[in-house]
Structure 1
Amino acid sequence: MDFIWILFAFVCGLAAKSGSLPPSIGYLAAGFILNFIGYQADDTLSKLSDLGITLMLFTIGLKLNVKSLLKPEVWLGCSLHTTLWIVIAITSIKLFAFIGFNYFASLDFQTALLIAFALSFSSTVCVVKLLEENGEMRTRHGRLAVGILVIQDIFAVVFLVAATGKIPSIWAFALLLLFFVKPLINKIINYVGHGELIPLTGFFLALGSYELFELVNIKGDLGALLIGMFLANHIKATELNKALMSFKDLFLIGFFLSIGFTAKPTLEMLGLAMMFMLLVPIKFALFFALFSLLKLRCRTSFLSALALSNFSEFGLIVASLSVTAGWLSNEWLVILALTVAISFIITNVIYSHAHTTFGKYRHLLSRFERSEKLSEDSFSQPCQRPIVIIGMGRVGMGAYNAINAHESQHAWGLDADKDKINWLTREGTQAYYGDAEDIHFWESIDLSKIKLVLLALPSVQDSLSITQQLKAANYQGQIAAVARYDDERKTLEDFGINKVFNFYNEAGVGFAEESLAMLKNKELAS
């Protein structure tokens, strides 16, 4: 039966990709199809799902700055949204009951409150997958969305403690001793090197933290997230994250399949789930309005709100607890499962056009932007150098150093990772913080003085999006990019990028040139 899951997941994932949709939508469909034709989920699928979620939360922690959670736009934005959403959702449920829908008519206030609270959450799995697939985890709006999700996870832990009566044991205070163990953990991570022990170390830390927190009656997933945050400043945090990425994606297939196995839906249940979809635009509008009130730029507000406009798998946990307690009928578990699944599909489809949509309606959306902006959202005018390098990773830094080694050429770097820019600035690199996919950024600088833009980015989609924004801003200079594969190279060239370098070929050329130069210098010296 395990092979049947893999077969259906592969076929449906491939079909989704062929339709320009994320494979996760195909996995959702595979779960419902398998359930419909009579297959049953077992503990293996549940364990895969749990493992995927644990690894995902651990990797989120590795990329998360704790200070970002203390920003008003994160904790206050999340708190206000949850409160307002519950009021609106309860009102909507009572309205549905008044209209005469049977399932809603039997709900009392307490049950309606539970459903409203469950639907207030956005899906951590859906949002993180969405941001990772678009290469936006470290952007301003990506960090904001992840911060909101973390605060929601804290709310979830508080709810589960209250609902289950499972309070942390007195030994939970012993977790503070982890601060004294951190130097030892850092040494272990450094010692394991860069081979097969790296992913195993990641598994050990993620699952070990899960079990450790469960021992003291604290939600294990929260433990994985917190330990990830605990190690976020380690020099090998990025390497750990990359080593776990494929494992996490593979195990999360189990999560998407498991939603379809929740129960068999009827047409009436599907209709009720579609009714809940009417609340998705309200969820978006609430997030957008609150982010705008908290002085965020309209693009950040728009993209963050759009990513968060879905319902969470946590709703299924609330529904399951409520069914066990006798507060909800079994049918509600199916309705909420359908609601969550459909919201995933809607978010993925709409977000794939997010940047294009914002570009089309940005003048309208900018009306909601406050004149007073946060300091983090205020762009610094870059120094007037003719070459811009977008993406200050290893490739970008290599290009920066090579170009600035020539006296006649000067380059500056641009990256959407604030922490990276702060570090590079301290090291003396001329690098600036900004999102190159934001047309407002390009309109705020003098493009006539820029002769060449280098796109040192791993994502082809990001390179295409930035090129589109440059053209929209009437950039007249040259654009160069890197690609890993020949099909990616052709895609970039067909889009109008002037020069595309194959990453692996150029590494070989550079290696050969440097080696020959070394040999020539030795011959001249002799």
Structure 2
Amino acid sequence: MTVYFVQAFIYLVAAVIAVPLAKRFGLGSVLGYLVAGVVIGPVTGLVGQEATTIQHFAEFGVVMMLFLVGMELDPKAFWAMRVRLVGLGGLQVVLTAAAGTAVAWWFELPWQTALTVGLIFALSSTAIVLQTLNEKGLVKTEGGRSAFSVLLFQDIAVIPMLALIPLLSLPELAAEAGADAGHGSSLSLVAHLPAWAHALVVVGAMAAVTVGGYYLSRPLFRYVVQSRLREIFTATALMLVIGIAALMSLVNLSPALGAFMAGVVLANSEFRHELEATIEPFKGLLLGLFFITVGAGIDFQVLAAEWGTVLALGLAVMVVKGLILLMLALLFRIRGSNGWLFTLSLAQAGEFGFVLLTYSVQNSVIPVETSKILSLAVALSMFLTPLLFIVYDRVVLPRYRRSKNDERPADDIHDRAPVIVAGIGRFGQIVCRLLRANNIPIVVLDHEIEQIETVRRIHIKSYFGDASRLDLLETAGIAEARLLVVAIDDRDRTVRMVEQVKKFYPGVWVLARAFDRGHSYQLRKAGADDVVSETYHSALELGGHALTAMGVHPLRAKQMTWTFLDNEQAHEDELFEAWQEIEEGISFSPRYGELFMKLEEALSSAMQQDWEPPTQDDVPIWTPPTDDAGEAQRPGS
């Protein structure tokens, strides 16, 4: 027992140290787990042979992940993706398997072994790809959806692959391994059944998952919920997933596929969100453990002896697979950055490759020594996959964003208006609509073609161009403008733009959108005349509604929000001066902290004052701005 505790502690320490470091450097959690496994396994020898055993247990994280993915789809969505599921996924598996088989046969491997090698390398890593797509928020993109379709087809394709491999047994390998090669002690309901009976059992198992999930899961969860014990709900959720995985294994089907089907069936269940919240922590921990075991299971002795072969094979797999994927992306019109996301995300072998390799050795299809080299090639390709996502983030995506906008020159601007709005996103659109409703002429600039085309549909005249360029602002008439509204979605560009405008055109009143308090101070230091945080007033409004919901009179709640505003404005200058003492806004100033606590105390004191209904005198007196002649300005003048 002590040994298990020590080993568990080592795995957890490795994850706790490596993963946050990898995330901090923008490398992603998967690469952190893989590096942690290499360090505690081959490098330091803290863990050893148990890595393979733990890996089989940790593969259950993939089952849980596909169960959660299935709950994100309803049957209609599943049917809608049938073309890419079968067409794109089927072509990828067939073409990659054919290419792998041809290369292996060219190296004079028996055709049975060559075909098995092709099937192994046709599969990609569901665990790494879906985990990374989720982390980076790329699941809903066209490239992400296409990658998911291929991964799902690959998981389905594992079933016929497992059925085919025993038929490819090599007599000479079988003779060496003994008469009982490939027959273990694992339980199976279909091991000695004829083909027709095997098919009936498989269909029955699939029907049991579908029908049982639809009709029996709801009464079961209602019964469990009545106990009001969260741990029993957790046990029920785990029982459901483990039971489905066990049933699929008993009939020689993929547990991950069965879990996915169950997830799809439960997609419209009222317990869906509770199930997701319950299983998510187990899924994340087991997937992390799986990635660590992949790194820890690398055999450095074989790698040192055959490093050239392993490296060449791993890179060849990724290059050939990448070329096939790129061709399919073009064929199915997955264009631009989505095509590269699809290609780079799937250009590796997967965790099911280890399963097929073990199964192939047991069934005398691949020699043990060859399987070790192939296993290292699979692990190497998985190890390099996070680096491909980094290439996508830092090379491919910025290039396509620039080319998409740079291929079109800035529009010629012939209009002039007293107000220039830089940025027409969700924030700038509200400003423009308010100004337009009051017949105030505006000139709108934005560097995103999609935004320009969107607002033109609602008849807001907009021009394409980078508003942070001073020459473009001059073309738009900044010299004659009275007001510049800066609403672009980029912190640094916003600050630079304000600095430039106030330096060369100090007479222009600059209103700037800030992301948070620190950004508002930066803009104020740059010279902005008025700064509004994008979430400040909406949060204040919601806070007033929260007070009303808790029984505070609506007028009193409104008065409290006014008091909050007054209190913030009264201490704004002090906080700004203290903030300027913080070197580059990085370290925390004790004086700033003291002032902030003083602000909180003053706010609390103001809130406790006796309430008197507001009178007409409480309404602020406002004097409209005047022009050079001293006359009041009217909207649109």
> Does TM-score exceed 0.5, indicating one fold?
yes
Q: Which residue of 2 aligns with 1:6?
A: 12
Q: Which residue of 2 aligns with 1:71?
A: 82
Deviations 1:20-48 (A, max 9, x none): 32232232233334443262216872464
Q: Which residue of 1 aligns with 2:211?
A: 179
- Preserved contact between residue 143 and residue 334 of structure 2 (Cα < 8 Å): no
Q: Which runs of 5+ in 1 are unaligned?
A: 98-104, 367-385, 390-402, 411-437, 452-465
Deviations 1:356-411 (A, max 9, x none): 43345439999xxxxxxxxxxxxxxxxxxx7738xxxxxxxxxxxxx9xxx9699x
**Gap change, CA 1:12 and 1:468, over 3 Å in 2:** same
2:243 to 208, 232, 241: 208
Q: Give runs of aligned pairs for residues 494-505 of structure 1, distance below 5 A.
A: 499=533, 501=535
Letter paired with 1:229: V
Deviations 1:74-102 (A, max 9, x none): 3111212222223333343455x3xxxxx
Q: Give runs of aligned pairs for residues 301-312 of structure 1, distance below 5 A.
A: 301-312=339-350
1:41 to 19, 26, 50: 50
1:132 to 131, 134, 137: 134
Deviations 1:434-481 (A, max 9, x none): xxxx96744653476699xxxxxxxxxxxxxx9469989xx9997676
Q: Could you tell me how far 1:214 is from its partner in structure 2? A: 3.1
Whether 2:374 is the aligned partner of 1:336: answer: yes
Alignment coverage as a number of residue pairs? 437
Q: Could you tell me how far 1:120 is from its partner in structure 2? A: 1.0
Deviations 1:138-160 (A, max 9, x none): 33322221111111111111111
Q: Could you tell me how far 1:298 is from its partner in structure 2? A: 2.9
3-state SS of the aligned residue for 2:426? strand
Letter paired with 2:332: L
Q: Which residue of 1 aligns with 2:543?
A: 509
Equivalents in 2 of 1:138, 1:126: separation in Å? Answer: 17
**Gap change, CA 1:54 and 1:43, over 3 Å in 2:** same
**Gap change, CA 1:355 and 1:88, over 3 Å in 2:** same
Equivalents in 1 of 2:537, 2:232: separation in Å? Answer: 27
2:307 to 270, 279, 297: 270
Letter paired with 1:71: R
- Preserved contact between residue 348 and residue 385 of structure 2 (Cα < 8 Å): yes
Whether 2:293 is the aligned partner of 1:258: answer: yes
Equivalents in 2 of 1:365, 1:246: separation in Å? Answer: 40
**Gap change, CA 1:468 and 1:59, over 3 Å in 2:** farther
Q: Could you tell me how far 1:186 is from its partner in structure 2? A: 3.0
- Preserved contact between residue 139 and residue 145 of structure 2 (Cα < 8 Å): yes
**Gap change, CA 1:365 and 1:83, over 3 Å in 2:** farther
Equivalents in 2 of 1:287, 1:504: separation in Å? Answer: 46
Q: Could you tell me how far 1:12 is from its partner in structure 2? A: 3.3
Letter paired with 2:22: A
Q: Which residue of 2 aligns with 1:445?
A: 454
Q: Which residue of 2 aligns with 1:141?
A: 143
Equivalents in 1 of 2:73, 2:151: separation in Å? Answer: 12
**Gap change, CA 1:35 and 1:43, over 3 Å in 2:** closer
Equivalents in 1 of 2:341, 2:308: separation in Å? Answer: 28
**Gap change, CA 1:513 and 1:194, over 3 Å in 2:** farther
RMSD of aligned residue pairs (Cα, Å):
4.7
Q: Which has the larger radius of gyration?
A: 2
Percent identity between the two aligned chains:
22
Q: Which residue of 2 aligns with 1:60?
A: 69
Q: Which residue of 1 aligns with 2:257?
A: 222
- Preserved contact between residue 273 and residue 339 of structure 1 (Cα < 8 Å): yes
Q: Which residue of 2 aligns with 1:83?
A: 94
3-state SS of the aligned residue for 1:227? helix
Letter paired with 1:261: G
**Gap change, CA 1:257 and 1:444, over 3 Å in 2:** same
Q: Give runs of aligned pairs for residues 464-483 of structure 1, distance below 5 A.
A: 467=489
Letter paired with 1:24: V
Equivalents in 2 of 1:512, 1:364: separation in Å? Answer: 43
3-state SS of the aligned residue for 1:328? coil
**Gap change, CA 1:91 and 1:215, over 3 Å in 2:** closer
Equivalents in 2 of 1:170, 1:153: separation in Å? Answer: 21
Q: Give runs of aligned pairs for residues 287-298 of structure 1, distance below 5 A.
A: 287-298=325-336
Equivalents in 2 of 1:93, 1:480: separation in Å? Answer: 59
Equivalents in 1 of 2:537, 2:54: separation in Å? Answer: 38
Equivalents in 2 of 1:64, 1:87: separation in Å? Answer: 31
**Gap change, CA 1:519 and 1:304, over 3 Å in 2:** same
Calculate the TM-score normalised by the size of structure 2: 0.58
Calculate the TM-score normalised by the size of structure 1: 0.68
Letter paired with 2:100: A
Equivalents in 2 of 1:194, 1:450: separation in Å? Answer: 57
Letter paired with 1:231: L
- Preserved contact between residue 48 and residue 254 of structure 1 (Cα < 8 Å): no
1:240 to 275, 279, 304: 275
Deviations 1:203-249 (A, max 9, x none): 23211211233344433222111101111233443443233222211
Q: Which runs of 5+ in 2 are unaligned?
A: 1-6, 168-190, 405-423, 437-446, 464-487, 499-510, 525-530, 557-611, 614-637
1:156 to 155, 158, 163: 158
**Gap change, CA 1:487 and 1:158, over 3 Å in 2:** farther
Q: Which residue of 1 aligns with 2:29?
A: 23
Larger mean CA deviation between 178-187 and 313-322 belongs to 178-187
**Gap change, CA 1:88 and 1:163, over 3 Å in 2:** closer
**Gap change, CA 1:442 and 1:34, over 3 Å in 2:** same
**Gap change, CA 1:296 and 1:441, over 3 Å in 2:** farther
Equivalents in 1 of 2:403, 2:321: separation in Å? Answer: 17
Q: Which residue of 1 aligns with 2:605?
A: none
3-state SS of the aligned residue for 2:454? coil
Equivalents in 1 of 2:102, 2:364: separation in Å? Answer: 23
Deviations 1:404-444 (A, max 9, x none): xxx9699xxxxxxxxxxxxxxxxxxxxxxxxxxx9674465
3-state SS of the aligned residue for 1:242? helix
1:122 to 124, 135, 149: 124
3-state SS of the aligned residue for 1:266? helix
Larger mean CA deviation between 234-243 and 502-511 belongs to 502-511
Q: Which residue of 2 aligns with 1:249?
A: 284
2:317 to 243, 262, 279: 279
Larger mean CA deviation between 172-181 and 71-80 belongs to 172-181
Q: Could you tell me how far 1:347 is from its partner in structure 2? A: 2.1
- Preserved contact between residue 270 and residue 338 of structure 1 (Cα < 8 Å): no
Equivalents in 2 of 1:488, 1:242: separation in Å? Answer: 34
